Amino acid sequence: MNGPQSGAKSLSEVRPQRHGKKASIPSRNRFKAWPPTSQGYPDIGNCTMLAVFSVLVAYAVQRALTAPSPSALGSDLTFLFQNDLNWQTAGDHHGAILLSTPVSNADAIKACAGINETLLPTDGVYFRDDIKNLLNYAAQTQSTSKERLLWVKTPSDTSEGCSAISVEGKIQKARCSSRLQPLCSQSAPYRRNTATDPNPAYQVQVKSKALTIVGTRDHLSFRFLGIPYASPFQRFSYSQVYNGTGTISALQYGPACVQRSFGTEDCLSLNIYTPYLPQSSSDRSNRNLRPVMFWIHGGGFTDGVSSDSDFDGGNLASRGDVVVVNINYRLGTLGFLALKDGVTNGNFGIADQITALQWVQQHIADFGGDPNRVTIFGQSAGAGSVRALLAAKPAFGLFKAAIAQSNLGGFGYAKTYSKYMPIEEEYTNYAQSVISAVGCADRDDTLACLREAPALALTNAPNAPRYIVVDGKYITTDELKVDGSGPAARAHVMFGWTRDDGSDFIGAWPGPETTALEILTRSGLSTEIASKALSSDLFPLSASGPNTTWNLFNQTSRIATVGQFSCIDQATVIAAAKHRVFPFIYAYQFDRTYVGWEPIAGTCGPASTAEFPHGDLKLPYFRCHSGELSYMFGTLGQRSLPFRDWDDLVMTQVSVDMWTAFARTYDPNPSSAFLNARGYTNTTVALRKGGRVGGGGTV
């Protein structure tokens, strides 16, 4: 592995790389990834909270009375948007909503009015280019037929007949009494994920079992936010799937789980971003149901929230034609405390993820998602969660594929993400310090005392637990066994990392007298192994950097990346392939990133030049931890991150297309049929340069 390089590479760098050529790989395997105690609330406070809750319920019910639903409209709703991921021009592209039920022109106008839209106008800057790709793809995915015309808006100066459009994008006249599918306008604006549009015109409701869930849409997709997936639970107990009834307002993100100085224990919610809402989900063989991508955020099992702007699922859903789900789960002490009482066995956060997957199995078809095609994916601690779920028997059958992005394992800080400690060890080294810190050490009933303690006191206690343990139910082995000796889900997998993932985990920038051995041992590597790594020819001290301290940091960063990220994943995929544990196995490395987690300022992005004021990618920089997230979610615009060069746009297009291809086909190499149908030329060109466009295939 090389250090920061002087030139920006082509976008095909993100393609999966083959590893472990010496391993015997079976031919069928392919390498290609609070509330505080109620005592804290006086009675009047409880009454006030109840009154506020009643108002919110009443508001949600009122919205449900007015928001349209696919069942009430008697039609599937398919969200069409030609998404090139250029956030700077996204507002100039106009989407459409395709209704599945053919009707007369007069009824088509009424149907579009039912979702507060009109028949689609046939003007706009990008209309001609966009509509051909949109309708071609709709025809190939059976949202419409190749021979069918669709109703569009008839110009006011037309004297006779009504306007329709062919799949080829040709406008022509049709008898107004003809029964055609309506193609409606889509006027909801492009906006940041933190902005909630109060306009009820964009709201839509979905009926799922005993629930009515009111969401909205924006410029990219239908959005349902803050949906509770677990019933109310007692602290330090395992969550169960939500069994409530009635109407839920899913217009705003749910609160974060308790962490640092904020959050609440009533936090187990999920968000859904979807391009398709079926009229009915009773037929689970519906071929129009989309693959589901289930995101688990990182944050060291102590931080993180599903509403993070990097994780907005609208662009993945829109460009990749998938349903995206992201979740909150319990963190820190509240999510991972384990006691030696035989009941409080820890892993509450992992169990929450399984509860959310169970909710998805029960409800996601009503949001257009296929429960039989769920891919779990996560980054950092989220990747550690993915790895744990691959080993957790209660999760088996709840997903078909998994992507672990920058999973940690190996030495120092990274070890506990892939190697699970016994409850006794967690209790002795971590739980006891929390028990003492909150004044429960001398109480007869430790669990009862902990349930009364302030949530933030538990979370911020010294040496608080945040570790996956061998609990005997969810996790039964000390690591994911990929040699056939322990439980492992029969799932398609992809593991990967960024090129300099370890650069964020080796402490401060070296001083003039700092040695490489000091840096590595301070990071948790033993003196013996650190010395061997430094004396080998695998990690030479480069002289290509701008100064000697940069070169030293580069050398230790490469060792940390191998020792804490890539080695554990390479060993996993090689062993899994050898023992035929997973059907398809892929690995990748990101050689281009955009910022990421940057504890050492100035390391995760190139310096600016007059030609490239936002960063000159010909200059050296470190490809840091989390630096791929804005690319593969397509969310550079959520933080108004400028395109540093043309390849930044192509990189995010390629990344989104590969991740969603894996969700559709369990192969990250998109089929040429899909790319051609969508008009994704940049990805086609970039991947052909790297030889990674899939065969003809199907859409």
- The DSSP string of 532-590 is HHHHSSSS---S-SSSHHHHHHHHHHHHHHIIIIIHHHHHHHHHHHHTT-SSSEEEEEE
pLDDT in tens, 46-92: 333 334 334 334 444 444 458 999 999 999 999 999 999 999 999 88
* Dist CA 412 CA 523 (whole Å): 6
Q: What CATH class does 44-194+201-219 carry?
A: alpha beta
Instruction: Evaluate whether 250 touches 228 at the Cβ level (below 8 Å).
Output: no
Nearest to 290 by CA among 369, 362, 396, 360: 369
Neighbours of 51 (CB within 10 A): 10
The reported pLDDT for the residue numbered 35 is 30
pLDDT in tens, 272-303: 999 999 998 665 567 899 999 999 999 999 99
Question: Using DSSP, how many helices (H) and how many strands (E) does the chain show?
Answer: 20, 20
Residue 314 has phi, psi (to 5 degrees) of -60, -45
The reported pLDDT for the residue numbered 125 is 76
Band (472; pLDDT cuts 50, 70, 90): very high
* Dist CA 582 CA 579 (whole Å): 9
Instruction: Evaluate whether 81 touches 133 at the Cβ level (below 8 Å).
Output: no
Task: Please determine, for residue 552, whether its predicted confidence score (pLDDT) is greater than 70.
Answer: yes
pLDDT in tens, 189-234: 988 887 677 789 999 999 999 999 999 999 999 999 999 999 999 9
SS3 at position 98 = strand
The rounded percent of the chain whose pLDDT value lies above 90 is 77
Q: What DSSP element (H or E) covers 215?
A: strand 211-217
The reported pLDDT for the residue numbered 474 is 98
* Dist CA 467 CA 460 (whole Å): 15
SS3 at position 89 = coil
Structure tokens at 59: 């508001």
The reported pLDDT for the residue numbered 488 is 98
pLDDT in tens, 334-364: 999 999 999 999 999 999 999 999 999 999 9
pLDDT in tens, 475-519: 999 999 999 999 999 999 999 999 999 999 988 888 888 999 999
* Dist CA 13 CA 18 (whole Å): 13
What residue ranges do the domains of the chain occupy? 44-194+201-219
Structure tokens at 589: 């490395």
Mean pLDDT across 528-548: 89
Angle at which helices 348-363 and 381-391 cross, to 10° = 70
Question: 244: phi > 0 → left, psi -120 to 50 → alpha, else beta; which?
Answer: beta
SS3 at position 223 = strand
pLDDT in tens, 651-666: 999 999 999 999 999 9
* 162-165, strands of its sheet edge to edge: 171-174, 162-165, 150-151, 181-186, 95-99, 77-80, 276-277
Instruction: Evaluate whether 323 touches 317 at the Cβ level (below 8 Å).
Output: yes
Instruction: Evaluate whether 391 touches 416 at the Cβ level (below 8 Å).
Output: no
* Dist CA 597 CA 600 (whole Å): 9
Mean pLDDT across 601-608: 91
DSSP 240-265: -B----EEEE-SSPPPPBSBTTB-BS
* Dist CA 318 CA 216 (whole Å): 15
SS3 at position 549 = helix
| DSSP state at residue 76 | -
Question: 524: phi > 0 → left, psi -120 to 50 → alpha, else beta; which?
Answer: left
Place of tokens 């909503």: 97
pLDDT in tens, 18-46: 333 333 323 333 223 333 333 332 232 33
Query: Helix/strand/coil (H, E, C) string of 285-334?
Result: CCCCCEEEEEEECCCCCCCCCCCCHHHCCHHHHHHHCCEEEEECCCCHHH
Q: Which amino acid is at 167?
A: V
* Dist CA 570 CA 418 (whole Å): 13
Give residues with Cβ within 8 angstroms of 48, minimum separation 6: none
| DSSP state at residue 343 | S
pLDDT in tens, 434-453: 999 999 999 999 999 999 99
Structure tokens at 219: 């410029």
pLDDT in tens, 663-682: 999 999 999 999 999 999 99
Q: Across all residues in the chain, what is the average pLDDT?
A: 89
Task: Please determine, for residue 270, whether its predicted confidence score (pLDDT) is greater than 80.
Answer: yes
Task: Please determine, for residue 143, whether its predicted confidence score (pLDDT) is greater than 80.
Answer: no
Mean pLDDT across 309-331: 98
Place of tokens 């030293």: 552
Structure tokens at 296: 């688990």
Instruction: Evaluate whether 293 touches 377 at the Cβ level (below 8 Å).
Output: yes
* Dist CA 215 CA 194 (whole Å): 15
Task: Please determine, for residue 145, whether its predicted confidence score (pLDDT) is greater than 50.
Answer: yes
* Dist CA 693 CA 691 (whole Å): 6
Q: Which amino acid is at 187?
A: S
Band (542; pLDDT cuts 50, 70, 90): confident
* Dist CA 666 CA 403 (whole Å): 10
The reported pLDDT for the residue numbered 282 is 63
Band (602; pLDDT cuts 50, 70, 90): confident
The reported pLDDT for the residue numbered 11 is 33
Task: Please determine, for residue 408, whether its predicted confidence score (pLDDT) is greater than 70.
Answer: yes
The reported pLDDT for the residue numbered 3 is 38
Four-point Cα dihedral 592, 91, 84, 626, nearest 10:
30
pLDDT in tens, 381-397: 999 999 999 999 999 99
